[in-house]
């Protein structure tokens, strides 16, 4: 009986699950243009406005197929398609100036149709179902690549193979490519006497050479980690300060603050 009820609950959950959809003109308009665009703008005005978009944000929309991006212009540099239900990488060739692409948390099993994106610098394919890949499908322009959370990361010499073939790569799976890894891959590395640069300086130089915009730099894992660390430290200081105040009030028998006073029900 309990198993039958569980099966019915699973069936109901499946029926109420949001239906997968294609990346469509309607979706582009509703996510990127003002509300009145869908009711009062004519088609020409809509298309003109879409051609001004530089950052496409379509995360968590239950998208299963990538389509309609040809309606956008050469101005698009960043595309966010994480946490959808996309099964294939397709129809991105039209975005000739794409620099930043995230497809994290989808249903991808294969790396494909990316090699022609010659300006792509940041690629996040983490948390998919990619078991193996053809290294030639990755653009040589990549500086940061994230494949963490995929079965392919368990391949023999996975990291070495990627670093050897992607000459510009500075970071793989949120871990910087080290001097030793570059030497093992056969790259010429300057002597320590000639190299006074910090680990961060080569990445900055590479980004300047490729004219990476500020949003790309701000989304590297180091910046995110530092921001999270600062937030945690601030919260810890706040809690410590509150505890000190509470101890003083207890010591001098002062009434408790509204923060710690019990609520009346």
Q: pLDDT (tens digit, 9 = 90+) per residue, 105-141?
A: 999 999 999 999 999 999 999 999 999 999 999 999 9
Q: What's phi and psi for 172, nearest 5 deg?
A: -130, 125
**CA 89/CA 96 separation, integer angstroms:** 15
**CA 162/CA 145 separation, integer angstroms:** 10
Q: pLDDT (tens digit, 9 = 90+) per residue, 235-256?
A: 666 566 566 566 655 655 555 5
- In our burial notation (b when 16+ CB lie closer than 10 A, e otherwise), range 136-159 reads eebbebbbbbbbeebebeeeeebb
Q: Report the share of the chain in percent with pLDDT over 90.
A: 54
Q: pLDDT (tens digit, 9 = 90+) per residue, 75-100?
A: 999 999 999 999 999 999 999 999 99
**CA 76/CA 250 separation, integer angstroms:** 59
């Amino acid at each position: 009986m309990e198993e039958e009820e569980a099966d019915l609950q699973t069936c109901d959950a499946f029926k109420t699950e949001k239906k997968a959809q294609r990346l469509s003109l309607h979706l582009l308009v509703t996510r990127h243009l003002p509300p009145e665009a869908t009711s009062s703008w004519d088609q020409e005005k809509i298309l003109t406005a879409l051609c001004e978009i530089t950052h496409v944000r379509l995360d968590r929309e239950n998208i299963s197929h990538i389509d309609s991006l040809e309606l956008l212009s050469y101005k698009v540099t960043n595309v966010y398609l994480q946490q959808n239900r996309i099964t294939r990488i397709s129809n991105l060739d039209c975005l000739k100036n794409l620099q930043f692409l995230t497809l994290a948390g989808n249903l991808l099993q294969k790396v494909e149709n990316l090699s022609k994106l010659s300006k792509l610098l940041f690629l996040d394919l983490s948390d998919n179902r990619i078991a193996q890949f053809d290294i030639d499908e990755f653009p040589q322009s990549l500086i940061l690549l994230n494949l963490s959370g995929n079965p392919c990361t368990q391949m023999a010499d996975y990291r070495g193979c990627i670093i050897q073939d992607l000459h510009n790569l500075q970071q793989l799976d949120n871990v910087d490519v080290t001097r030793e890894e570059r030497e093992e891959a056969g790259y010429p590395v300057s002597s320590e006497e000639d190299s006074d640069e910090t680990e961060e300086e080569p990445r900055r130089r590479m980004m300047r050479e490729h004219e990476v915009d500020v949003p790309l730099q701000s989304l590297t894992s180091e910046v995110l980690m530092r921001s999270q660390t600062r937030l945690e430290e601030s919260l810890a200081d706040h809690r410590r300060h509150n505890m000190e105040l509470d101890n003083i009030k207890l010591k001098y028998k002062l009434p408790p603050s509204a923060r710690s006073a019990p609520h009346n029900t």
